[in-house]
Amino acid sequence: MRKTTQAAVIGTAAAALLVSSFTLSASAAPEHSGSHGKPKPPAADTLGGLGLRADLRIGTAVDMAALAADAPYRAKAAGEFTSVTPENVMKWEVVEKERGTYDWAAADELVDFARANGQLVRGHTLLWHNQLPAWLTEGDFSAGELRAILRKHITDEAGHFKGRIWQWDVVNEAFNDDGTLRDSIWLRKLGPGYIADAFRWARQADPKAKLFINDYNIEGVNAKSTALHDLVVELRKQHVPIDGVGIQGHLSVQYNAPHDIADNMKRFDDLGLETAITEADVRVPMPSDSTKQEAQAEGYDVLLRGCLLTRRCTDFTVWGFTDKYSWVPGTFEGEGAANLFDENYAAKPAYKALTQDLLLAAGRD
């Protein structure tokens, strides 16, 4: 939980002064200790450093290919953020491409990177309808077999990373936008009880990790976020071990920003649940320009303020930080430039908007 009362008080003028230096420092990430010695704390003028003062982790999804090949990417991932999420390498199709043969190499590498840099890890994700191995989607399994396969997967993966994961996205994207449960292999064969089972198995495998349900289009109050809220109420009644709700935050400047996000997050907070913004990005129709970048900054700002206004919001994670590597252009034709930094790692207005929000939050009583 964020302990805002401990934060130092900083006046708006001092905040503005600090912010003006960010444009200079943004492209020069501090050097971290790497795998030698104790990790250094994040520099005070990074998102991660400012976030700690506001009692909030600021994270990023990490693309392991970029981490290996691109030194500026690596420096920024190490220096700017206080938590990381594997963009792909903990997904089922990666960790168990062949049935019964696990490959944890890339995921272990990220966990080691995080430890070397003093970062926490959000595990993503134990159960999803997407990025499943072909042996699973193409196999003809009975309900009993599929349930055993799922149980084994969750037990083995959460068990492998036991003690090294801060928050697990146990169940990802289980809902349709109208609030009904998604027609997935899991729902079709196992029925809606698969969600409660997944949380119970995850808790057994790693009792200390915080267990989240995660979804998109649940930023504001709508049919989907309400259905998810109702499900969580029901799960809690049944003593299912669920700790938090992850709000992905994939926005587009072409739609209104979710200005009611704090109202929505409060509903979960009132249940005693943690919340997090887990995959923030704000795409724009290409080519981008300064007007679109300002609109983009507003989107990021709305998401972060939702979190800052919510007592148990623990972290704000961006889904990648540079336009150099982004899932957006491959999925939304004609859209892109969704991240805080451009392809050359120059900070955009959205970066400044986040730093200003964090400075104000760090300075409040």
Active-site annotation, residues: 173, 279
Per the DSSP assignment, residues forming a β-bridge with 171 are 127, 213
Identity at 112, one-letter amino acid code: D
Residue 315 binds ligand G3I, judged by CB under 6 A = no
Window 136-165: residues binding ligand G3I (CB under 6 A) = none
CB of 279 to ligand G3I, least distance (A): 5
**Residue from the set 87, 157, 243, 315 that interacts with ligand G3I by CB under 6 A:** 87
- The answer to whether 331 and 300 have CB atoms below 8 angstroms apart is no
Which H or E element spans position 215?
Answer: strand 210-215
Identity at 132, one-letter amino acid code: L
CB of 61 to ligand G3I, least distance (A): 7
Q: How far apart are CA 300 and CA 260, in angstroms?
A: 14
Q: Is 36 exposed, middle or buried (0-12, 13-18, 19+ CB in 10 A)?
A: exposed
For residue 172, give Cα distances in angstroms to 101, 125, 182, 210, 362: 23, 7, 11, 14, 31
Between 82 and 172, whose beta carbon lies closer to ligand G3I?
Answer: 172
Residue 131 binds ligand G3I, judged by CB under 6 A = yes
3-state secondary structure of 214: strand
**Residue from the set 12, 21, 130, 137 that interacts with ligand G3I by CB under 6 A:** 130
CB of 196 to ligand G3I, least distance (A): 21
Q: Shortest Cβ contact with ligand G3I: which residue?
A: 327
**Where do we find the tokens 């908007």?**
353
**Residue from the set 88, 155, 222, 226 that interacts with ligand G3I by CB under 6 A:** 88
Between 73 and 327, whose beta carbon lies closer to ligand G3I?
Answer: 327
Which H or E element spans position 61?
Answer: strand 57-62
How many CA within 13 A on the CB side of residue 78?
24
Task: Supply 54's token pair.
Answer: 């506001």
Q: Is the dihedral of CA 277, 279, 281, 282 positive or negative?
A: negative
Residue 240: other Cβ atoms inside 10 A = 18
Q: How far apart are CA 133 and CA 121, in angstroms?
A: 24
**Residue from the set 83, 119, 225, 248 that interacts with ligand G3I by CB under 6 A:** 248
Between 64 and 304, whose beta carbon lies closer to ligand G3I?
Answer: 64
Between 50 and 171, whose beta carbon lies closer to ligand G3I?
Answer: 171
Residue 197 binds ligand G3I, judged by CB under 6 A = no
CB of 222 to ligand G3I, least distance (A): 17
Window 16-75: residues binding ligand G3I (CB under 6 A) = none
How many of the chain's residues bind ligand G3I (CB under 6 A)? 9
CB of 87 to ligand G3I, least distance (A): 5
Between 91 and 352, whose beta carbon lies closer to ligand G3I?
Answer: 91
Task: Supply 3's token pair.
Answer: 């302990």
CB of 19 to ligand G3I, least distance (A): 30
One-character DSSP codes across 241-263:
---EEEE--EEETTS---TTHHH
Task: Supply 18's token pair.
Answer: 């600090």
CB of 195 to ligand G3I, least distance (A): 17
Site of interaction with ligand G3I (CB under 6 A): 87-88, 130-131, 172, 216, 248, 279, 327
